[in-house]
Amino acid sequence: MVADPIALQLTAELFPNGISRYAVGGLLVGLGAVVIYVGTGIPAGASTFLESTLSYVSGQSRFQQYVPSRDWRVVFTLGIILGALAFAATVQSGVITTSLYEPGTTGELYEVGGVTLWSTDVQPWRLLVGGVFVGIGTRIGKGCTSGHGVCGVGSASKTSLVGVATFLTVAIVTAQTVSALGVSP
Amino acid sequence: MSRDRHPLFMPLILVGGLIFGFGLGFSQMARPEVVLNFLQFEDFGLLFVMFGAAIVSGIAFALMPRLRDSAPLTGDRYERRLKPFDRNVLIGGAIFGVGWGLSGICPGAAYASLGVGNVSILWALAGMFVGAYLQGVWRSKRAAADAAPAGAD
């Protein structure tokens, strides 16, 4: 391969953690959605779980429409949690090493029973308040980063493309503003 | 969706979720800091997660309807289930954007974050359920108030 110093420098600036962990992770996320779609015809999103699970405990009419899908959505979410735990027990713990994975330096690593776990430094109030906005917004906006961003964009849905462009733009402005106000992490 | 589900329906959903969650862990999108670094233009790698995943799923969405009529485990047709566009997509998207930009967390990545050991993410999950509940109560009331309720999205 011919090494172009300018291209390499630019890559290092834009992608300080390389691109392989992102690309491999993205391909797996897509593959997970594909497995479900091929078997069931369902384009899976992660945010409907919030409303469908609320249908177990709330009789609000808004949630009842998700009763038929609530069971498999719980299973899908459990799968996501367990899949991430499997990642933590293997790659994150160093049991499996690959040059495709760049570990990163954010947050804090800790160990429980031989498994290397990770915890965020982002302040709880940001997570809580941000979570409330995410919970309201994703449900009014009909999708989240997986429903709109992966399945919607993947099926070239104009609604999803507009949805992604909207939340990406607002998220960038928000994150830049919060950072400019000196809130970190 | 049919009432009598194929016995492999739930196992397949679980396997799909496992791969999905492993990918979110591997890409480090389950780390709020990494998402915030992306939104602050410090690391553009996250584009590869979103577009990489969308390309993979896009190929399946385009191919499957040409290969088969219906999905083996549900009998559902492979078709584009397009969500209708209206003002809510913009309003909801903007509210979601504020939350994503503030916390660095979105639903799928939040579940995965719990899996990689991030106990603090329970704050975000609690927030999401509160938010989803608030909009649900509000929209249920509004739907009941409307004489001719518009169909749910």
Q: ipTM value of the model?
A: 0.95
Q: How confident is the model at residue A6 (pLDDT cuts 50, 70, 90)?
A: confident
Flag residues of chain B having pLDDT under 70: 1-3, 147-153
Residue B150 confidence (pLDDT): 53
Collapsed DSSP state (helix, strand, coil) of residue B77: strand
Read off the pLDDT band of A39 (50, 70, 90).
very high
The mean pLDDT of chain A is 95
Closest CA to A56 of A71, A75, A42, A76: A71
Neighbours of A106 (CB within 10 A): 18
| Predicted pLDDT at B151 | 55
Chain B residue numbers with beta carbons less than 8 Å from the beta carbon of A42 are 71, 74, 76
Classify residue B138: in a domain, yes or no: yes
B2 domain-assigned: no
Q: Which residue has the higher pLDDT, A46 or B4?
A: A46
Which tens digit of pLDDT belongs to each residue from A151-181? Answer: 999 999 999 999 999 999 999 999 999 999 9
Burial B35-46 (b: 16+ CB within 10 A, else e): bbbbbbeebbbb
Partners of B21 on chain A (C-beta within 8 Å) are 32, 79-87
Are the beta carbons of A162 and B60 separated by less than 8 Å?
Answer: no
For residue B121, the chain A residues in CB contact (below 8 A) are: 120, 127
pLDDT of amino acid A11 = 84
pLDDT of residue A1: 57
- Residue B44 included in any domain: yes
- Per-residue confidence at A2, pLDDT binned at 50, 70, 90? low
Find the mean pLDDT for residues A119-147: 97
Range of the domain at B49: 8-147
Number of structural domains chain B divides into: 1
Nearest CA in chain B to A53: B129
Please report residues of A whose CB lies closer than 8 A to that of B30: 84
- Selecting from A62, A126, A145 the residue whose C-beta is nearest the C-beta of B106 gives A145
Residue B18 lies in a domain: yes
pLDDT (tens digit per residue) in B50-83: 999 999 999 999 999 999 999 999 999 998 888 9
Q: Report the pLDDT value the prediction gives residue B147, as an integer from 0 to 100.
A: 52
Of the candidates B81, B4, B128, the residue with the CA atom closest to the CA atom of residue A130: B128
Residues 96-135 of A with CB under 8 A from B: 101, 104, 106-107, 110, 112, 115-122, 124-135
> Does B55 map to a domain?
yes
Residue B42 within a domain: yes
Number of residue pairs across A and B with CB atoms under 8 Å? Answer: 557
Residue B3 in domain = no
Residue A104 and residue A95 in contact, taking contact as beta carbons nearer than 8 Å: no
Per the domain annotation, does B152 fall within a domain? no
